[in-house]
Amino acid sequence: MEVLKEAIRDASAWKGSDFRSKEDITLHFETEHLDEIDATLKTARDAGLGLDTLERRHFELPRTTAFLQDAREELRSGRGIAILRGIDASRYSVPELEMIYWGIGTHFGVGVSQSVLGDRLGHVKDTTATDPHARAYRNKQELTPHTDTSDIVGLMCVRTARHGGVSIASSVAAVHNVLLERFPQYLEPLYEGFPYHRRGENLPGEAPITPHRIPVFSYVQGQLSTRYARSYIETAARESGKPLNQLQIDALNCLEQLTYEVAFEFQLDPGEIYLLNNYAVLHARTAFENWPEPERARLLLRLWLTADDWRHLDPRIEATRGGISAQAGKLPSFERAFGSGRIATQSK
């Protein structure tokens, strides 16, 4: 286990206070880009293509490719975060926005399943009226800092909530720098990692708790990476009967506190696409309140993308990067009984 003992000074080590507004991380589509996207969408629809059949070869964008590659490189080796702005969401139906977003996503990586539903293009909305224990991307509660099981995470805003739903992003390098300077005693337990509960996403015959520890931090070939979902860690500790020790609890508490301390908060607007490097940026969201009209309810489209050229990873993280396997008959929700009462636990 190699523990990085030097501060990171490159572009990935930003703090929210470095940005005056989200404009500082925003890249703008030009008119020629938008015209090309429009024309490519029409061609794809005229050919009868849908999300299940649309591939990169169907969404070539010669005049827009350089713009998208610049954004991709910013994610891979720059700040690890970018917003793409310029698409007018009001001009398109939701199915059209889905195709545009999926088509753009093919220029960044390959879409993978985000839940047991097999959804490669997830709908981030509140579904608790029909599934009270829905995973956090399908409810309206606060979503605490975490990473997902892919190389790139992307969100496209279709509709905003009446209140709340603010995006929160934090540089992993910045958090690590503060830990190194002020709380170095917590680095070792975070590098050592924790068993994870699979929260009902395990395949038949697969143990519900990982037999190995998954590191929060790992340093491989000169790059710091993270994998973090606290609810999965705590559920594993509770159900295995092996509670976290005080040092581990303190390390996790400190990590989350620092994540908010260095965070950048912003509201994503309709048509904007928010992209992040899943190993370099932790993301979260505030709780939200929807509009009373169902047709105005908050809706974001989510992509989990993998890319073979992304980075070298610890094998224990590498094993988690391919998304979540589809399983017929299951819902993306989780509930467990503890003691005399029932406690619903949320997953990402």
For residue range 22-63, what is the model confidence (pLDDT) as tens digits? 999 999 999 999 999 999 999 999 999 998 899 999 999 999
Instruction: Assign 119 a pLDDT band (cuts: 50, 70, 90).
Output: confident
Q: b/e per residue, 286-322, with b = 16+ CB within 10 A?
A: bebebeeeeeebbbbbbbbbbbeebbebbebbeebbe
In total, how many domains does the chain have?
1
C-alpha span between 242 and 235 (Å, rounded)? 10
Q: Which amino acid is at 78?
A: G
Phi, psi dihedrals of residue 36, rounded to the nearest 5°: -70, -40
Nearest to 51 by CA among 113, 127, 139: 113
Pairwise pLDDT comparison (199 vs 100), residue with the higher score:
100
CA dihedral 78, 22, 231, 244 (to 10 degrees): 60
Look at phi and psi of residue 80 and say left if phi exceeds 0, alpha if psi is from -120 to 50, else beta: left
For residue range 249-265, what is the model confidence (pLDDT) as tens digits? 999 999 999 999 999 99
C-alpha span between 295 and 159 (Å, rounded)? 9
For strand 110-111 and strand 81-85, is the pairing parallel, antiparallel, or unpaired?
A: unpaired
**Residue 1 placed within a domain:** no
For residue range 196-250, what is the model confidence (pLDDT) as tens digits? 998 777 777 788 899 999 999 999 999 999 999 999 999 999 999 999 999 999 9
Q: Are the C-beta atoms of 93 and 26 separated by less than 8 Å?
A: no
Nearest to 306 by CA among 85, 114, 57: 114
| Cα four-point dihedral sign 193, 197, 199, 205 | positive
Q: Which residues contact 64 (CB under 8 A, 6 or more apart)?
A: 29, 32, 33, 36, 37
Q: Are the C-beta atoms of 116 and 201 separated by less than 8 Å?
A: yes
**Residue 2 placed within a domain:** no
Q: Are the C-beta atoms of 172 and 14 separated by less than 8 Å?
A: no
pLDDT above 50 (res 337) = no
CATH number at residue 329: 3.60.130.10
> How far, in Å, are 43, 54, 68, 241, 280 from residue 50 at the CA level?
12, 6, 22, 47, 32
Pairwise pLDDT comparison (137 vs 224), residue with the higher score:
224
For residue range 155-204, what is the model confidence (pLDDT) as tens digits? 999 999 999 999 999 999 999 999 999 999 999 999 999 999 987 777 77
pLDDT given for residue 127 in this prediction: 65
**Residue 232 placed within a domain:** yes
CA dihedral 101, 157, 78, 61 (to 10 degrees): 20
Question: Which residues is 337 bridged to in the sheet?
Answer: 342
C-alpha span between 19 and 25 (Å, rounded)? 8
Q: Are the C-beta atoms of 289 and 161 separated by less than 8 Å?
A: yes
Pairwise pLDDT comparison (86 vs 135), residue with the higher score:
86
Instruction: Assign 99 a pLDDT band (cuts: 50, 70, 90).
Output: very high
Q: How far is CA 30 from the centre of its chain?
A: 27
For residue range 272-313, what is the model confidence (pLDDT) as tens digits? 999 999 999 999 999 989 889 988 999 999 999 999 999 999
**Residue 4 placed within a domain:** no
**Residue 344 placed within a domain:** no
**Residue 85 placed within a domain:** yes
Residue for token pair 């608790």: 128
Q: Which residues contact 311 (CB under 8 A, 6 or more apart)?
A: 76, 151, 220, 223, 225, 279
**Residue 110 placed within a domain:** yes
Q: Are the C-beta atoms of 76 and 311 separated by less than 8 Å?
A: yes
pLDDT above 60 (res 345) = no
Instruction: Assign 339 a pLDDT band (cuts: 50, 70, 90).
Output: very low
Residue 108 sits in which domain range? 16-333
Least confident of 67-76, 79-88, 118-127, 241-250: 118-127
**Residue 246 placed within a domain:** yes
pLDDT above 60 (res 131) = no
Instruction: Assign 93 a pLDDT band (cuts: 50, 70, 90).
Output: very high
pLDDT given for residue 137 in this prediction: 59
